[in-house]
Structure 1
Amino acid sequence: MRPTTVRARATAGAVLVVAAALAAASFALLGLLEANLLRNAERDAAQQAATVAQLAAAGDLDRMRPAGHGADFVQVVNARGRVLRATQNLAGLPALAPVKPMRPGTSFHTWRLRPVGGEHRQRVVQVTTQTPQGLVTVFVGTSLRDVDAADDTTTAALVVGGPLLLATVGLVTWRVTGRALRPVEAIRAEVSEITDRDLHRRVPVPPTRDEVARLAETMNTTLDRLESSGIRQRRFIADASHELRSPITVLRTQLEVALAVRDPELWPELIGGALEDIERLQQLASDLLLLARIDAAQPVVAVRLDLGDVVGGAVRSRLGDRVPVRTSLEAGVVVEGSELWLTRVVTNLLDNAQRFAAEGVDVTLRTTGGGPDGRTAVLEVLDDGPGIAPEDRERVFERFARLDDARSRDHGGAGLGLAIARDLAAHHGGTVAAEEAPRGARLVVRLPTSSGR
């Protein structure tokens, strides 16, 4: 019996809230209306009861007048329950009060007196006063026909109007909710039809600038990212297949030649070439595995590191490089991250610089900033090679991207080093970019520093 759709739940909720509010308002309205009418009805009766009580206290009940405006009857009863005076419509009736009064005072009662009021109630003012003959009680009653009529009319109006109001609220809520959720249903229907081969499709964005429109825009943005991810994945698979095909083909050729050659003196050279291709395959497989881990967004095991020590260690491990590496490292540059991955960033940048440098490579570490966002560690790797053209400064960070002068197998590598360096830096909250340099290529790494604790 519980509503299963948002539209039904919204309608049921609105109807229940309005019903509760209507019930509370109805009780409050009836209570206020009856209290106001009772106050008006008993005002005149109380005045007349006080007047008769004064006459009784003075021993002058003979001057009592018939019931005036706002009163239907008057009855005066002594302490023994004997009726001393009464209006014509109560002639011959016993005392109204079933209990004899004990002390002077005024009280109000609501009774049904059929000989006087018929089917309507009577509001009775009871005033007890002290007289020379003892306690005397004066009863003055006024009909509540107006109160009963108002209550009946108001109750009938609420009984008829309440369900109509609830039906109207339910209908309006149902229609409005349906119109509001119609774009959501269109988005759901479109998304349900999108498969991994239809990531180019987009959900309709309603013209309204509300939450549903923002939901559609967010959904389209997500589809954009999924489509880009799919394109990158397909391109990555194609490039990886192409890069793997070449060394595998060469390796197979060398092995086939080694089998065909009968001269043992040529075997070391052939086997050495095969081992070089196997090493290249291992390096490529390691790079592909690292990229897969990066794409899987595996968290970084972050520890506080002295970036100068990380860079110095990476440089010292490359004593046999083709050109010398000169360093200028600022002390005390502390970052948070993985030592293994940050070392890989430095190593990949140095590999790229060594590949193209003519006479040397300069590595500089410094810090900048110091404002509310903290300081930034800046690592620069500068070579004196041919440099990178401005239009290629972003393309060199694409996976398997190699410039025209670096396409040879012996000189260009697989084209993954800079892409890995940028992705690893991004995992540490940093960036890698190729920037303007007076000569050669200048690759700059920026990482947030870690404040001391």
Structure 2
Amino acid sequence: MRSVRARAALGATVVVALALGAAGLAVLLVLRANLTDQAGLQAEVTAREVAGQLALGVPYAELDTGDEEEHPVQVTDEDGRVVAVSKDLEAISGTGTDRVAASGTAGAGDDDHDDDRDGDDDPGRGEVSTDEPDFGNGTATVDGDRADYRFAAVEATDPAGRTLTVHAGAPLAAERRAVDSVRSAMLAGLPVVLLVVAGVTWLVTRRALRPVEGIRREMAAITASEDLARRVPEPGSRDEVARLARTTNETLAALEESVGRQRRFVADASHELRSPIASLRTQLEVGAAHPELLDVPGAVADTVRLQALAADLLLLARLDAGERAGLTRLDLGALVREEVSQRVGDRVPVTVSVSDGGLDVAGSRARLARVLGNLLDNAQRHAVRSVSVTVARDAGAVLVAVTDDGAGVPDAERERVFERFVRLDEARARDDGGAGLGLAIARDVATHHGGTLTVSGSRFELRLPLLQNVGALPPHPRSSIAGGAYR
């Protein structure tokens, strides 16, 4: 069953069927119990009336048992012998004894009982037990008609002091008829109710899912057309479907932006790769035609530039894919000293200031060295006479600041300078062939290490969390496809 509407309708129908079944069963049980209790009450009333007569000394043969067909009566003594029964009682069960004939002559009074009354003008009164009677179900055959009864057993003491038990019954036929009628009505109405529930659920679900079908159709159209500028319709309601449509549109917007950035990235990469490749091809073609004119140093320089650009693009691709390099414990101060000491041929001397101890971070040595190298290369391009690097602790982090005495980055360009393939005008005039990827790589690496890279004027600040403050490293953020460059 692939339809949500069908599953919802079936599920609702099954749930309602179970609920109605349980409720109906409970109603039948309560109804049966109430009717049985009413029958027991009637039986108790009859039993107490007969017991009251016995307590007054009425002879057994003169007992008034009321309507014998409606309320059959059986009286037994303390030895279990039947001393009196109602008229036309032919068989009985459920009272402790199935005998329906009194001792001696059925229905006659007891001789001893009559003797006691004759010998004593004022024999006194017996009593009827006030205890809760015993109840039980059984059958009785009265004048040839057999039926089910609810029996109540009440004890009484006659004037002679003998303990007698009166068993009186009340018919259960009315209870059975009422229960059968209610059950039949329920069984007849249940299919109608279930059909109504299924139909209403089908219609309501269809109406509720109509916006979802609209979203599906629009998504199918977007997939077919590959037009990420389209959006799915958002219903005016504030329910889950509206939130789904809103989230879908946000996803489409993010996807459109990502694809746009990727296309610009590919276009910029193609443009940057075209120049060194064209230059190298020209030199090689000239060298092939005129070996004496081959500019070997120029070809080597173009090859080096092409190799560096390819390496930068590969690193950015890895960062975009969320690749995490192996993390180790690093002393950032020692790393800065080592990297600066290995730089030879810098145009401007670099001064280093490292605070004492507590500069450990968790990171990739190669990638953090790449960040520092990119920042120093950027500073060398724009410095006039000095470049400085300071490393110190700062509020639970290690701060590496690279500063030069150049003009600095204008406030309006503080974020744009980190975009990929973006170089400021001054940088283009003085650049010796950089592709504008250094600061983009530096920021992406810093972000993947749970840190930040910002610029203020001519001061670039790399902030990484201290090792003791690093728990589970943050998840890889999505790198911007259009991320930063040299200034």
TM-score (norm 2): 0.80
**Matched-pair contact (CA < 8 Å) for 2:421–2:435:** yes
Asked if 1:124 is matched to 2:132, the reply is no
Query: Match for residue 287 of structure 1?
Result: 312
Where do residues 375-394 of structure 1 align in structure 2 (5 Å cutoff)? 375-394=396-415
Query: Match for residue 108 of structure 1?
Result: 135
Match of 2:328 among 290, 303, 307: 303
Asked if 1:339 is matched to 2:365, the reply is yes
**Matched-pair contact (CA < 8 Å) for 1:44–1:69:** no
Query: Match for residue 372 of structure 1?
Result: none
Query: Match for residue 246 of structure 1?
Result: 275
TM-superposed deviation, 1:98: 8.2
State how far apart, in whole Å, the 2-side matches of 1:6 and 1:235 are: 42
Match of 1:443 among 434, 451, 460: 460
Out of 105-114 and 342-351, give the one that drifted further. Answer: 105-114
Q: Structure 1: 5+ residue runs without aligned partners?
A: 370-374
Which residue identity is paired with 1:189? R
Q: CA RMSD in A?
A: 3.1
TM-superposed deviation, 1:68: 7.0
Which of the two has higher C-alpha Rg? 2
Change (3 A) 1:367 1:166: farther
Where do residues 191-270 of structure 1 align in structure 2 (5 Å cutoff)? 191-195=219-223, 197-261=226-290, 263=292, 270=295
State how far apart, in whole Å, the 2-side matches of 1:138 and 1:173 are: 59
State how far apart, in whole Å, the 2-side matches of 1:95 and 1:146 are: 19
State how far apart, in whole Å, the 2-side matches of 1:182 and 1:335 are: 54
State how far apart, in whole Å, the 1-side matches of 2:366 and 2:143 are: 104
TM-score (norm 1): 0.85
Which residue identity is paired with 1:76? V
TM-superposed deviation, 1:115: 4.2
Out of 28-37 and 146-155, give the one that drifted further. Answer: 146-155
Q: Structure 2: 5+ residue runs without aligned partners?
A: 100-128, 471-487
State how far apart, in whole Å, the 2-side matches of 1:151 and 1:191 are: 57
State how far apart, in whole Å, the 1-side matches of 2:399 and 2:289 are: 55
**Matched-pair contact (CA < 8 Å) for 2:92–2:141:** no
Change (3 A) 1:367 1:180: farther
Query: Match for residue 427 of structure 1?
Result: 448
TM-superposed deviation, 1:56: 4.3
Q: Secondary structure at the match of 1:205?
A: coil
TM-superposed deviation, 1:112: 4.8
Query: Match for residue 174 of structure 1?
Result: 202
TM-superposed deviation, 1:397: 1.1
Query: Match for residue 417 of structure 1?
Result: 438
Query: Match for residue 166 of structure 2?
Result: 138
Which residue identity is paired with 1:397? F
Change (3 A) 1:111 1:255: same
Which residue identity is paired with 1:356? H
Q: Secondary structure at the match of 1:194?
A: helix
Change (3 A) 1:92 1:163: closer
Q: Secondary structure at the match of 2:170?
A: strand
TM-superposed deviation, 1:54: 5.4
Query: Match for residue 479 of structure 2?
Result: none
Out of 142-151 and 75-84, give the one that drifted further. Answer: 75-84
**Matched-pair contact (CA < 8 Å) for 1:122–1:142:** yes
Q: Secondary structure at the match of 1:411?
A: coil
Which residue identity is paired with 1:303? T
Q: Secondary structure at the match of 1:300?
A: coil
State how far apart, in whole Å, the 1-side matches of 2:42 and 2:459 are: 103
State how far apart, in whole Å, the 1-side matches of 2:409 and 2:433 are: 14
Query: Match for residue 13 of structure 1?
Result: 11
Asked if 1:25 is matched to 2:41, the reply is no
Which residue identity is paired with 1:108? F
**Matched-pair contact (CA < 8 Å) for 2:283–2:299:** yes
Which residue identity is paired with 1:274? A
CA displacement 1:168-193 (0-9 Å, x = unmatched): 22222222222222222222222222
Q: Secondary structure at the match of 2:283?
A: helix
Asked if 1:316 is matched to 2:341, the reply is yes
- Aligned residue pairs total 434
State how far apart, in whole Å, the 2-side matches of 1:119 and 1:201 are: 83
Change (3 A) 1:108 1:254: same
**Matched-pair contact (CA < 8 Å) for 1:81–1:95:** no
Query: Match for residue 297 of structure 2?
Result: 272
**Matched-pair contact (CA < 8 Å) for 1:76–1:137:** yes
**Matched-pair contact (CA < 8 Å) for 1:402–1:412:** no
TM-superposed deviation, 1:128: 6.4
State how far apart, in whole Å, the 2-side matches of 1:119 and 1:366 are: 106
TM-superposed deviation, 1:82: 5.3
Query: Which structure carries more relative contact order (alpha carbon 8 Å, separation 6+)?
Result: 2
Change (3 A) 1:99 1:410: closer
TM-superposed deviation, 1:345: 0.9
Match of 1:160 among 180, 188, 210: 188
**Matched-pair contact (CA < 8 Å) for 2:88–2:142:** no
State how far apart, in whole Å, the 2-side matches of 1:384 and 1:22 are: 84
Which residue identity is paired with 1:247? P
CA displacement 1:420-445 (0-9 Å, x = unmatched): 1111111112222222x3xxx22222
Query: Match for residue 90 of structure 2?
Result: 93
CA displacement 1:361-407 (0-9 Å, x = unmatched): 111222333xxxxx132222111112212222222111111111222
Change (3 A) 1:96 1:229: closer
Change (3 A) 1:394 1:42: same
State how far apart, in whole Å, the 2-side matches of 1:146 and 1:198 are: 76
Asked if 1:359 is matched to 2:385, the reply is yes
CA displacement 1:170-225 (0-9 Å, x = unmatched): 22222222222222222222222223831112222222222222222222222122
Which residue identity is paired with 2:179? D
Match of 1:397 among 418, 430, 433: 418
